[in-house]
Structure 1
Amino acid sequence: MQVIADLRALWPLREFRKLFAVRLVSQSADGMFQVGLATLFFFSPENASTAGGVAAAFAVLLLPFTVVGPWAGVLLDRWRRRQVLLVGNLVRVGLTLTIALLMVTDGVGPAVYVLALVALSVNRFLLSALSASLPRVVDGPLLLTANSLTPTLGTAAAGVGGGIGFVLGWVLPAGRVRDAAALVVAAAVMATASALAARIAPDRLGPSDRSDAAQLRAALGTLARGLVEGARYLVARGTPARALGVMAYTRFLYGVVFIASVLIARNLLADPADSRAGLAAFAAVLGATAVGFAAAVVLTPTLSPRTGVHGWIAGCLGLAAVSQGVIAVTYERVPLLIAAAVLGLGAQGTKIAVDTIVQRDTADAYRGRAFALYDVLYNAAFVGAAALAAAVLPDTGWSRPLFAVLTVGYVLGALGYGFAARRAPEAVPVG
C-alpha cells in the first residue's frame, strides 16, 4: 500500500519522530483530562440532560479557545515553538494538579470550572504550535502523509487517554478521590510531554524570524491589524482561505451532530436516569467515530493523490452527507454507529486535507497566524452550532427534519467547494 511506503520514508526523519512523540503523549493527557470534564458536565446525574444545557456547557468550554486563538498566532510567529511546547505543558501540569487538589479538598466549585477553562485554552495553544511546527520537520510530498498521521494518531492517543480515565472512573469507588485520580495521572503524562519537547533543539521548530521584547509588545498591541494582515495574505493566496472556509462550514455541521449524539446517547440509547449507561453509549459512538478517523489516515494519502486534495475534500463531504441520511431514517444503535464511523472518515479526511493545504500554501512567517485563525473559526463554528442545537434540537437529540437538513447541507458543501476549486487557480506551494 502507498501509505506503508510513505510511512517508511517518513519514519527515518528524526526530528519528525521527536515532534510526533510530543503530540502523542500530550494528547493522551488531553484525553484523560477531557473525559473527567465530560463526566462532570454531561453524564453526572445532576448536570445537563437537555439540548439547552448541553449546548450551554459546550459554549462555555469553547468560547475561551476562540479568545486564545488570535493571541496564539502572534506569539507562535515570534516565540520559539519548541519552548511553547515545553513550557506550555508544564503550565498545564500546575493547573491540573491544582484542580485535583481543589476537587479533593473543596469539591467542584467555580474555581474548578475557571481553571479547567484555562487549561483547555492552553491545550489549544499547544495544538496550534504542533501544527505550525510540522512543516519545519517534514516537507515535500511527505507533508500530506505527516498530516494524515499526526492529527489522526494524536486523536487516537487522546482516545486511549480518555479510555484510561474512563476505566479509572469505573474501578475506583465513587467520591472525590476518584474525581481527582485521572487528573493526577494526566498531570504526570503532561510532564512527560514537556520532557520530550526538551529533546528538540530550541530553534528547530522556528519561526525563522523572531522579534525582541519591544517588538513583541508592539505586535501584541497591534493584534487586530496583524490578524487582518494574516487574513488578507490567506485570501490573496486563495487556497488556504477556501480551505479554512470549508473547515468552518463542516465544523458547524459536525457540531450540531456531536451535540445531538450526546443527547441521543443519554436519552435514547440509555435510560435517562442512568448516567453511567449514557456515558457508555456515548463512548461507543466515539469509538465508532475513531474507527472512521483511523480509516482516514489510511485512505487519505492513498486516494487523495488520485482525486486531488480538493476532490478528496468534496468526496469526504459526500460521505458525511450519507452518514446524516442514515440518521435521518433511524436512531437505532447499529445504524447510528455505522453512521458515526462514516462521518468520522469524512470529517477527519477533510481535516487532513485542509491542514495540508494551509501548511503547504502558507509562508512560514504567516503559519502561526493561519493556525490561530484556524482555531478561531474552528471553535466559533462549534459555538454557533451549539446555539443552533439549543434552538432546534429536542431533548432526545433526534429530529428527522433536522438530520435531513444536515444531509442537504453536506451535499451543498461538497458541490460548492468542488465548483470553487475548479474555477480558482492553484496556489504555488511555499517552503
Structure 2
Amino acid sequence: MRRLLSISDFRRLLLSRFAAQWGDGMLQAGLAGAVLFNPEREADALAIAAGFTALLLPYSLVGPFAGALLDRWDRRNVLVVANALRGLLILVAAVTVAMGADEPVLFTLALIVVGISRFVGSGLSASLPHVVPVRNLVEANALATTLGAVVAVTGAGCAVGLRALVGADDVGSGITTAAATLGSIAAALVAIRFAKGALGPDEVDEPPQTLVAIARGLFDGARAAVRTPTVLAGFVALLAHRAAFGILLLLTVLLVRFRLDTGMAGLGEVAGMVGLGILLAGMTTARIVAKFYRRRTMGAALVVGGVAVVALGMPMTMITTLAAALVLSYAGQIVKLCVDAAVQRDIGDEVRGRVFALYDTLFNVAQVVSVSLAALVVAPDGASPGLFAAAGICYLIGFAGFVTITRITGH
C-alpha cells in the first residue's frame, strides 16, 4: 500500500473515485429513504423492485455507450464533465424529492443520474492501468475497489445520519439527496488536475463514426471477453453472484422493513456489515490468491457464498442477517476483485473500456432480472425460504460453470 500510494497519479485517481463513490452512497441512501422509509409514502415489494431497477438499469442501458466512448475520448475529460453534469442533475432530483414528486418521476431522474455515473465508474476502472505498474494491478485494484466501496457505504451512513437531523419527510429526504452533490463536485475538481491524455486511451481501435463505434461496443467487448479464458470464467462466476445478490437485496429490505421492523437504522447496520466484508476482502484477497492461486480462491468463494445463503439466510433473524451480509459481501468481493484484475491484466487497453461496459451490462441485467422475478413471488414481509434456496443454487451454478471453463481452457 505504501508503494502504491507513493504514486501521485494513483493517489489522485483514488481521491476522485472516493469522492464520486461517497456521493453515490449519499444519493442512493437518500433516494432509498425517500421512497422506502418515508412516512409520507407506502412501499411494497413491487415498488422496492422498481426502485432497485431505477438504480441498476442505467448500468445496463448506458454501459455500451460508456465503453465505446471511453475507448474513444480522453478519459480525463470524461471524468470531469460526467461528474459536473451528475452534480447538477442530483440537485434537480433533490428538488423533486422535496416537492413530493411521484415515484415514476424520481425513478426517471435516478435512471439519468446513475446512467451518467457509469461514465465515471467505467472511466476510473479503465484508467487504473495508466497510473500503476501492471505487476501491481491486483493490489491496486483491491485497494481502489475495496476502499471505494467502503467510502460508498460511509456515504450511505452519512445520509442516514443527516436524515435523522433534517427529518424523514419529503423535505428532509430532499436535503439529504442534495448533499450528494458535494461528492460529484469534489470528484470533478480532482480529475481536472490530470494532464490531458494521462488516463488513455493510448490508441483508438474504432470506426471513425461515433455512432458505429457505439453500436459495436457490446459486440467488441463480448468478443474480447470470450477470447480471454480467465475473463470468460470470471464473468460466469460473477454473473451467478450478482443474480443471487439481487434476490437477497430484495429479501433483506423487506425483512428489515416489515418482519424485523428495524427501519432505516437496521438497513444501515446491514450496509455496515457489507462494508466490513468488502474491507476484509480487500485486505486479504491478494495474499489468498498468491498462496492458493486465482482458480481455487474464486471456486472457494462461490461455495462459501452458496452455503452461507442457506445457513445464515434461512433463520431470518437480525443477527443471522448481519452475519450473512458480512460473509456474502466478503465472498462476492473476492470474486469481483479477481475478475477486475483479469480484465485489467489480460484485456488490451484499446478495448478495455468496452469490456468493462459489457461487465456492467451483464451483471446489472442479472441483478435487475433477479430482483424483478423475486418481487413477483416474495412474501410481503420477505419470509420466503424458497428464494433463499434459489440464491444458494445460483452460487452453485456459478461454481459449476467456472470450474468447467477453467478445466476446458486450462486457465
Report the Cα offset of residue 414 of structure 1.
2.2
Does 1:244 find its partner at 2:235?
yes
1:151-170: CA deviation from partner (whole Å, max 9, x where unpaired) = 11111111111111111110
Select which of 260, 265, 272 maps to 1:280.
265
For residues 23 and 324 of structure 1, the distance between their equivalents in structure 2, rounded to whole angstroms, comes to: 31
For residues 273 and 79 of structure 2, the distance between their equivalents in structure 1, rounded to whole angstroms, comes to: 31
Does 1:267 find its partner at 2:261?
no
Alpha carbons of structure 1 residues 175 and 387: separation in structure 2 relative to 1, 3 Å: closer
What SS does the aligned partner of 1:352 have? helix
For residues 313 and 162 of structure 2, the distance between their equivalents in structure 1, rounded to whole angstroms, comes to: 35
1:123-156: CA deviation from partner (whole Å, max 9, x where unpaired) = 1221011111111112333110111111111111
Task: Give the root-mean-square deviation of aligned CA atoms.
Answer: 2.0
Alpha carbons of structure 1 residues 173 and 46: separation in structure 2 relative to 1, 3 Å: closer
For residues 156 and 207 of structure 1, the distance between their equivalents in structure 2, rounded to whole angstroms, comes to: 28
Specify the alignment match of 2:381 in structure 1.
Answer: 396
Report the Cα offset of residue 355 of structure 1.
0.5
* Matched letter for residue 254 of structure 1: F
Unpaired runs of 5+ residues, structure 1, are: 1-6, 271-276, 427-431
For residues 165 and 134 of structure 1, the distance between their equivalents in structure 2, rounded to whole angstroms, comes to: 29
Conservation of the 8 A alpha-carbon contact between 1:219 and 1:226: no
Report the Cα offset of residue 309 of structure 1.
1.5
Specify the alignment match of 1:200 in structure 2.
Answer: 194
Specify the alignment match of 2:46 in structure 1.
Answer: 52
Conservation of the 8 A alpha-carbon contact between 2:83 and 2:185: yes
Alpha carbons of structure 1 residues 246 and 173: separation in structure 2 relative to 1, 3 Å: closer
Report the Cα offset of residue 184 of structure 1.
3.1
For residues 93 and 45 of structure 2, the distance between their equivalents in structure 1, rounded to whole angstroms, comes to: 28
Report the Cα offset of residue 262 of structure 1.
0.6
For residues 175 and 390 of structure 1, the distance between their equivalents in structure 2, rounded to whole angstroms, comes to: 26
Alignment of 1:119-138 (within 5 A): 119-138=113-132
For residues 89 and 338 of structure 1, the distance between their equivalents in structure 2, rounded to whole angstroms, comes to: 35
Alpha carbons of structure 1 residues 353 and 171: separation in structure 2 relative to 1, 3 Å: same
Conservation of the 8 A alpha-carbon contact between 1:71 and 1:220: no
Alignment of 1:59-98 (within 5 A): 59-98=53-92
Alignment of 1:89-128 (within 5 A): 89-104=83-98, 106-109=99-102, 111-128=105-122
TM-score, length-scaled by structure 2: 0.94
Does 1:221 find its partner at 2:212?
yes
For residues 201 and 151 of structure 2, the distance between their equivalents in structure 1, rounded to whole angstroms, comes to: 27
What SS does the aligned partner of 2:382 have? coil
Conservation of the 8 A alpha-carbon contact between 1:328 and 1:401: no
Alpha carbons of structure 1 residues 18 and 399: separation in structure 2 relative to 1, 3 Å: same
For residues 405 and 379 of structure 1, the distance between their equivalents in structure 2, rounded to whole angstroms, comes to: 18
TM-score, length-scaled by structure 1: 0.90
Specify the alignment match of 2:143 in structure 1.
Answer: 149
Specify the alignment match of 1:410 in structure 2.
Answer: 395
Conservation of the 8 A alpha-carbon contact between 2:74 and 2:197: yes
1:263-313: CA deviation from partner (whole Å, max 9, x where unpaired) = 11111111xxxxxx4211111111112111111011101111111112211
Specify the alignment match of 1:306 in structure 2.
Answer: 291
Alpha carbons of structure 1 residues 251 and 103: separation in structure 2 relative to 1, 3 Å: closer
Alignment of 1:289-328 (within 5 A): 289-328=274-313
Report the Cα offset of residue 226 of structure 1.
3.9
Does 1:358 find its partner at 2:346?
no
For residues 46 and 311 of structure 1, the distance between their equivalents in structure 2, rounded to whole angstroms, comes to: 50
For residues 275 and 266 of structure 2, the distance between their equivalents in structure 1, rounded to whole angstroms, comes to: 14
1:376-401: CA deviation from partner (whole Å, max 9, x where unpaired) = 11210111111221233211212223
What SS does the aligned partner of 1:206 have? coil
Unpaired runs of 5+ residues, structure 2, are: none
Specify the alignment match of 2:153 in structure 1.
Answer: 159
For residues 108 and 379 of structure 2, the distance between their equivalents in structure 1, rounded to whole angstroms, comes to: 29
Query: Size of the alignment, in residue pairs?
Result: 410
